[in-house]
Each structure stands twice: as C-alpha cells, then as structure tokens.
Amino acid sequence: MVGEAEDRLREAEALLERLERARARLEATEDPDAAIDVLAELSEIAKEIELAIGDARKAVDAEP
C-alpha cells in the first residue's frame, strides 16, 4: 500500500505543477475570456489534487 500512496502523492505533485503553470498563465493574461478559462482549469486541477490526496490518505490508512 505504501507504493500506492507514493504513486498518489506523485500524481498530486504533478497536478500541483500543472496548477502553478496555469496560475502563471492567469497572471500573465490581460484577456478576460482567457482568464475565465484559466480559472475554470484551476478549479478542475484543484479538485483533482484533492482526490489524489484523499486517495493517498486512504492507501496509508489501509496499511496494516
């Protein structure tokens, strides 16, 4: 199960990198429509991060 938890944490780290790139795009844009699109993407990435962290916690809790 530790391997599974580590996999989930790596997934969360990759998602965090995506989140940082999207945040940088948001800061760089001056187009309101593009900003709305990036905000929607940030919301989806945040949800994916929450799921990955929750899965990692479940994997750790399931260890004997």
**Is there a contact between 12 and 49 (Cβ–Cβ < 8 Å)?**
yes
Confidence at residue 20, expressed as pLDDT on a 0 to 100 scale: 95
Confidence at residue 1, expressed as pLDDT on a 0 to 100 scale: 54
Confidence at residue 54, expressed as pLDDT on a 0 to 100 scale: 86
Per-position pLDDT tens, the chain of length 64: 567 778 877 888 899 899 999 999 999 999 999 999 999 999 999 899 888 888 888 877 877 6
Extended beta strands in 1-64, E state: none
Query: The tokens of 18 are what?
Result: 């995506």
Confidence at residue 60, expressed as pLDDT on a 0 to 100 scale: 79
3-class secondary structure per residue, 33-47: HHHHHHHHHHHHHHH
